[in-house]
Structure 1
Amino acid sequence: MNSPDNRRPDEHFEQRARELWREAAQRIDPATAGRLRAARRQALETAKAPAHRAVRWLIPAGAFAAIALATMMVWQPLPQRQATTVMHATSSTDELDNELPPDADKTDPNLYQNLDFYGWLASTGSHTASR
């Protein structure tokens, strides 16, 4: 392998760190070593526990989301057609005269053939209604 002179700097650092760790591990008293082992076991158990807790919360959260979705699908607002029909029934004829005509592509083309007649009908219809 590599001779001690041909080592990379990080290999030398790693080697020195291992030597220091071994020395410190041999000089540690048994009570401190026991506490370190207990802390290590507790840390390992805690690392495994959050995954179990997350799975435990997924079931109630999924059930709540399903109930909320079902509620939103069943409980929809009433259609607004009735309100607009009532508004049109109570509006006066003056308001109806101010409405815009329908788009040309949505209406019957035959209505545009006799525009003069419709103009005359509109002018005489308002005079006859007032008599």
Structure 2
Amino acid sequence: MTSPDERIKQRARALYHQASQQLDPAIAGRLRAARREALQPARPPHRVARLLLPAGAFAVIALAALMVWQPHRGASAPTVPDMAVATVPGAAQDDSDLPPDADSADPNLYQNLDFYGWLAANDSTAPARH
């Protein structure tokens, strides 16, 4: 004797074969095309999408390299003699410049501190009289 599950399976197969014999040919063609498309392996990614991954990885590596390899912010620019700065037209020095460190400054600058005080008090940047 067959089990109820086996009878249901046999009845379902019989109904499937009967319905497939009575199916419209246009609908059968569409079903076959949909089945083939569903069973095809996934399409490879588009060419642009394949190029974006390596380009993005290169950009991330370049950015990381630039962040790691930066010149030291404490490094100073090459020094220019004071005479060269004074002769350049339109060159103005900032009043906000800090005095040089005692370790890096010329010791001769500290010999005549009174003179530098007098020079600061008698500022010669007053407008010229015509």
Superposition TM-score tier, normalisation by shorter sequence: 0.3 to 0.5
Q: Normalising by structure 1, report the TM-score.
A: 0.39
Larger relative contact order (C-alpha < 8 A, sep ≥ 6)? 2
Q: Normalising by structure 2, report the TM-score.
A: 0.39
Higher helix share: 1
